[in-house]
Copies of this chain bind each other. A is one copy, B any other.
Amino acid sequence: MKRNVTVVKIGGNVINDPLKLESFLKDFSDMEGMKILVHGGGKRATEMAADLGLKTKMIGGRRVTDAKGLEIVTMVYAGLLNKNIVAKLQATDCNAIGLSGADADLIRAHKRKVKEVDYGFAGDVDAIAGKTLIFFLNHGLVPVFSAITHDKKGQLLNTNADTIASELAKDLAADFEVELIYCFEKMGVLKEMEDQDSVIEKIDKSYYSKLKADQVIVEGMLPKLDNCFDALQNGVQKVLIGLPELIGNRSLIHTRLTL
């Protein structure tokens, strides 16, 4: 029987709120079994850029990363946020280790080719060093990933944290039963954007196509759900979307994705 591992992704809404973060990290620490945390942190980087007098350019909800912007996300994601999360987890006896994709060559990516849009130093994932990751998990370490990758040629790259979570989950699926949980500011995928009671509790592939066609699911949710189905199609057992509290209480209403 395969062992279990849970990959949890949290976004800026948790990270930017000290109380929410503390509560989330307590729940994460209490989770049994092998686990991995992936964090974004968009707003903090945008604030830092503003403090430094720089403007952050966004296209279609994605950050455009120029050289200076890459410095900022590297500082904020891989430094400030990552190390503070690790220190807080360590305080709860969770043996966290903060990692970027460059560390131990864990997540190799390439600079996204310029088509209609030039995203700058944005990286698309090519390979996960699964052996090293499993070696850490076997040693009782809890990897905490910031969304910074590298190209193995010396270049750091900014990569979507949702994608990193799904790529890690996919890679581990060969050796583990993998549960992938995307935590965000809502209880799940909503039918009506402003109505928290409209959570769609199950979405399979054909229903997803319909929801897209009917424009119920739009914009930022599209790449997130694409990542979910990509994970499922590549052997990940279970994919959930919901509030951060979901990881401490799986009976909380949420959205489950299925093929």
Contact = CB atoms under 8 A, between A and B. Distances in A.
A78 B90 CA distance: 17
Contacts of A82: 78-79
A74 interface: yes
Interface stretch (A57-65, A91-99, A168-176, A244-252): A91-99
A103 B142 CA distance: 10
A78 B98 CA distance: 10
A67 to B, nearest CB: 12
Interface string A135-174: 1000101000000101011111000000000000000000
Given A105-B95, A135-B139, A141-B104, A79 B90 contact: no
Contact of A78 (B79, B88, B135): B79
A91 B141 contact: no
Contact of A90 (B132, B148, B154): B154
A154 B48 CA distance: 23
Contacts of A231: none
A83 B91 contact: no
Given A79-B79, A79-B80, A139-B132, A91 B51 contact: no
Nearest to A104: B97
A244 to B, nearest CB: 18
Contacts of A78: 78-79, 82-83, 98
Nearest to A86: B102
Most buried by B among A83, A84, A91: A83
A144 to B, nearest CB: 9
A75 interface: yes
Given A51-B52, A75-B79, A97-B103, A87 B155 contact: yes
A156 B83 contact: yes
Nearest to A85: B102
A71 B75 CA distance: 10
Given A77-B79, A78-B98, 15 more contacts: A74-B84, A75-B75, A75-B79, A78-B78, A78-B79, A79-B79, A79-B82, A87-B102, A87-B150, A87-B154, A88-B154, A95-B105, A96-B104, A98-B100, A104-B141
